[in-house]
Amino acid sequence: MIPDGTLYGNPELGAGEVATIEDVTLTTEQAGADIGYGQGVQIKDGLLVPATSGNIYGIALRRTHVNADHLYPEDMAKEHWSAGEWFGCVREGTVAVPISEDVNSRENAAVDANGNFKPAGASDTVVGVFLSSGNKGGTARLQTRIQLSNTSVTGEGRKNDVPTTPAVNAGPADTPSTQPETKPADNKSQGGK
């Protein structure tokens, strides 16, 4: 008897799971709102929030549980990153993402108004390419690359607003000189007098 590979499990990856063994570029970021696993995110006031349109900053990874004894199906369906939590954000790589419409492999992807993904229409900003097909409400593998657009990186960055600490210098950091450092010659160490 040949075993059925789909008999005991769903072949779909869970949202927010890295989907290939290719290199992944990610950063650790702080959530500014509740963010679902695998959702596209944008920067707002220095924090990440679900993307609503246009370019994305990245894709939220899922939480990794060391001990999952307390997780039941009804709990897993409600899992997300809460505002203030730090999480991994994929900037470049392939991730399983939640999809709001049926998608086909090799179809361009766009983010919808809820931070989930859909096929890119004529007026949508392309944020990646689906590498697998999927049905509405499921997941599909999405490959994305770092997007360097001003619509994905907005806001002024995180400001220090704690009154007991000195104010953050809003100016640029000191720029090191591009000229090589010169020291007076030490003729004695080189056989001179």
- Provide the residue ranges of all domains of the chain, joining segments of one domain with +: 10-149
- Taking alpha carbons only, the member of 104, 89, 112 closest to residue 142 is 104
Q: What is the mean pLDDT of the chain?
A: 79
Token pair in block for residue 53: 């349109």
**pTM beyond 0.75, yes or no:** no
pLDDT tens string 45-99 = 999 999 999 899 999 999 887 777 777 777 777 889 999 999 999 999 999 999 9
Per-residue model confidence (pLDDT) at position 107: 96
Q: Over 50: is that where the pLDDT of 147 sits?
A: yes
Per-residue model confidence (pLDDT) at position 5: 56
CA angle 148, 63, 143 (to 5 degrees): 35
Per-residue model confidence (pLDDT) at position 69: 72
CA angle 146, 148, 97 (to 5 degrees): 40
Q: How confident is the model at residue 6 (pLDDT cuts 50, 70, 90)?
A: low
> What DSSP line would sit under the chain, residue for residue?
----TTSSS-SSPPTT-B-SSS--EEEEEEBSS-B-TT-EEEEETTEEEE--SS--SEEEPPP--S--TT--HHHHTT--BPTT-EEEEEEEEEEEEEBSS-B-TT-EEEE-TTS-EEE--TTSPP-EEESS-B-TTSEEEEEE-----TTTS-S-------TTSPPP--SPPPPPPSSPP-----TGGGT--
Q: How confident is the model at residue 13 (pLDDT cuts 50, 70, 90)?
A: confident
DSSP lists the bridge partners of residue 47 as: 44
Residue with the two structure tokens 């997007």: 147
Rg over CA atoms, the chain: 23
Average pLDDT (25-39) is 95
Q: Over 90: is that where the pLDDT of 157 sits?
A: no
The full length of the chain comes to 193
Per-residue model confidence (pLDDT) at position 21: 92
Q: Over 70: is that where the pLDDT of 152 sits?
A: no
Q: Over 60: is that where the pLDDT of 175 sits?
A: no
Identity (one letter) of the amino acid at 124?
A: D
Q: How far is CA 94 from the centre of its chain?
A: 11
Per-residue model confidence (pLDDT) at position 154: 46
CA 97/CA 181 separation, integer angstroms: 51
Question: How would CATH label the architecture of 10-149?
Answer: Beta Barrel (2.40)
Per-residue model confidence (pLDDT) at position 156: 46
